[in-house]
Amino acid sequence: MNDLTDRAVVNTLIARTTPAEGAVAALRERLVASADEAGILDLAYTTTSTPVGLLLLAATERGLVRVAFEQEDHDRVLAVLSEKIGARIMRTPQRLDNVVREIDEYFAGTRTHFDLPLDLSLSSGFRRLVQQHLPHIGYGRTESYSEVARSVGSPRAVRAVGSACATNPLPVVVPCHRVLRADGSLGGYIGGIRAKTALLELEGVA
């Protein structure tokens, strides 16, 4: 084939495939909208790029239910959510536009607290109590595990506080990165020490 023939073939393929791809995208949007309106979508999710890596964001009708770092394995996280919340999961970025916007603002340094509805159904008991306290640790501040234990009324439950932070399903948004060891060292973090350090540096702590 000569160049003119090659270009003609390519143009023909584009003409044939582009409308079909557009139709598929439009159909998908209609399906998402229909599922949303009918209340048959258990979980909406998307991903967003941040300075600490690609974050998975998942939400129920009640609010944001999960934030996951890449190292947690997003596919595995979605599989667990399917078991715990419901199997009707769909990638629907538009449902999480506000979440993405607030996270972008946080990493840009223009947002110091999140104003998002949260679904805390993945936690219960003492863990949920600790996780509900974490947003009260202000931007640019930290508390030790023992200070958190005292704040939630269980001064001896230092290890349990550590467990609650380690299993926090909403890192970044529910700021378990602001909890340090009594000697000021970082302790563990679900997103890794580099991510915890980056978040604290962003807030002017580290």
Q: Are 137 and 161 in contact (CB under 8 A)?
A: no
Tell me if 114 is assigned to some domain. Answer: no
Q: What is the DSSP string of 93-140?
A: GGGGHHHHHHHHHHHHT--SS----B--TT--HHHHHHHHHGGGS-TT
Verify that 67 and 134 share a domain, yes or no: no
Q: Indicate whether 117 belongs to any domain.
A: no
Q: Are residues 179 and 135 part of one domain?
A: yes
Rounded Cα gap, residues 197 and 180, in angstroms: 11
β strands within the chain, DSSP E: 43-50, 53-59, 64-68, 89-91, 143-144, 179-180
Dihedral sign for Cα atoms in the order 164, 170, 175, 176: positive
Which helix (H) or strand (E) covers residue 101, if one does? helix 97-108
Q: Which two tokens stand for residue 180?
A: 């340090």
List residues with catalytic annotation: 176
- Do 150 and 191 share a domain, yes or no? yes
How many structural domains is the chain composed of?
3
Judgement on whether residues 10 and 47 belong to the same structural domain of the protein:
no
DSSP classification of residue 167: T
Q: How far apart are CA 161 and CA 142, in angstroms?
A: 14
Q: What is the pLDDT of residues 103-160, one digit of tens each?
A: 999 999 999 999 999 999 999 999 999 999 999 999 999 999 999 999 999 999 999 9
In terms of domains, do 33 and 50 share one? no
* Whether 47 and 85 share a structural domain: yes
**145 assigned to some structural domain:** yes
CATH number at residue 100: 3.30.160.70
Segments forming the whole domain that contains residue 65: 43-108
For residue 63, the 8-state DSSP code is S
Q: What pLDDT does 23 receive?
A: 53
Q: What is the pLDDT of residue 86?
A: 82
The answer to whether residue 116 is domain-embedded is no
Cα separation of 140 and 203, whole Å?
5
197 bridge partner residues: none
Assess whether 93 and 137 both reside in one domain.
Answer: no
How far apart CA 61 and CA 39 sit, in angstroms, is: 9
Indicate which CATH number applies to the domain containing 147: 1.10.10.10
Domain boundary pick from 76, 108, 140: 108
Do 54 and 30 share a structural domain?
no
CA–CA distance, 150 with 154 (Å, rounded to integer):
5
Q: What is the pLDDT along the chain (206 residues), one digit of tens a residue?
A: 444 444 444 344 444 444 455 554 444 454 455 545 545 578 999 999 999 999 999 999 999 999 999 999 999 999 999 999 987 899 999 999 999 999 999 999 999 999 999 999 999 999 999 999 999 999 999 999 999 999 999 999 999 999 999 999 999 999 999 999 999 899 889 999 999 999 999 999 96
Tell me: do 32 and 48 sit in the same domain. no
Same structural domain, 134 and 189: yes
Question: What are the C-alpha distances in Å from 199 to residues 30, 108, 132, 206?
Answer: 38, 12, 19, 9
131 and 197 co-located in one domain: yes
| Token couple for 195 | 């991510």
Quick one: 48 and 85 in the same domain? yes
